[in-house]
Amino acid sequence: MVGDNEEGIRGQFSQTVDVLRGANVNAGEYRPTDHNPLARFDDATGREVKRYRLDAPYAFAVITDDEMKNEHRCHLAEPALDGFRGELL
């Protein structure tokens, strides 16, 4: 029994090391229709003029036009970090 547990721990540790090194982990294909959006932009200050994908589907920039102030603004939308990822970074 101890050997099985030790192998499980070694396997988890090995996978963690691979992830931190930048190895590819097959997590399946992300489909926005099946999963929640990774990043959202909800801003009521101005009309959206253009949206640019920076690192699809994770981050994008939105250009808005504020007619009251006669200016364009650039906003960046990124996914929110959960507790673990926030502490890690």
Going residue by residue through the chain, which has 89 residues, state the pLDDT in tens, using 9 for 90 and above.
555 677 777 878 787 777 777 656 676 777 767 767 677 777 767 888 998 988 877 788 989 998 888 999 888 888 777 777 777 77
Q: Please give the single-letter amino acid code of residue 32.
A: P
CB-CB contact of 35 with 48 (8 Å):
no
CB-CB contact of 61 with 74 (8 Å):
yes
- How is residue 69 annotated by DSSP? T
* Residues constituting the chain: 89
Q: Please give the single-letter amino acid code of residue 81.
A: L
Structure confidence at residue 65 (pLDDT)? 92
- Domain ranges in the chain are 2-80
* pTM across the whole model: 0.49
Structure confidence at residue 44 (pLDDT)? 64
Structure confidence at residue 41 (pLDDT)? 74
- How is residue 34 annotated by DSSP? T
CB-CB contact of 72 with 65 (8 Å):
yes
